[in-house]
Structure 1
């Protein structure tokens, strides 16, 4: 997700190489991960701004798939918030193709 090395070493590099093409890399992580205590309109506005970046991302589906498979607990990944991912996972929809 946001920031990090431009090259991930090791045998599992193919699992992570999509991250270097993420649209989120040009912004700060604070857009994708809410600060402690953020609520209401501020929270909704930040989530909407993060999702707007995700909407035009060339690796949105890979990111979303990763977040669901890894059960990422925090942040907007692939255009989905924590709550949206939780709902998909609780319904078992994460096993279906992600669109």
Structure 2
């Protein structure tokens, strides 16, 4: 398989698992220009709450690990969370 096919298979697994997020909540998961720290924190907490009860959480985690997105909330983790995990893994 190639990278595109691998990513497609991972995304299909997320969709098959029935993710709790969707078009109506997408705005919570993406960064916004001009957003204050407090606004970002509140938005990310709302997104994370959706993730923590999501039946697709583990599939989403596999997808984001392969995709390596630069920002946003993925599998209950913000970019700051992911950066902290990477720093701990290197230490």
TM range (shorter): 0.7 to 0.9
1:60 deviates by: 0.8
1:3-58 CA distance string (max 9 Å, x none): xxxxxxx9544322123221111523211012112122211110110001101110
Q: Kindly report which structure 2 residues correspond to 1:1-99, keeping only aligned pairs within 5 A, or say none.
A: 12=6, 13-20=8-15, 21-25=18-22, 27-92=24-89
Q: Comparing both structures, which one devotes a greater share of its residues to helix?
A: 2
Partner Cα separation in structure 1 for residue 40 and residue 72 of structure 2: 11
Q: Secondary structure at the match of 1:72?
A: coil
Q: Secondary structure at the match of 1:73?
A: coil
Structure 2 residue runs of 5 or longer lacking an equivalent are: none
Structure 1 residue runs of 5 or longer lacking an equivalent are: 1-9, 94-99
The two structures, once aligned, show a CA RMSD in angstroms of 2.1
CA separation of 1:26 and 1:57: change in aligned 2, threshold 3 A: farther
Q: Aligned pairs, how many?
A: 84
TM-score, normalised with respect to structure 2: 0.75
TM-score, normalised with respect to structure 1: 0.70
Runs of 4+ in 1 over 3 A off after TM superposition: 10-13
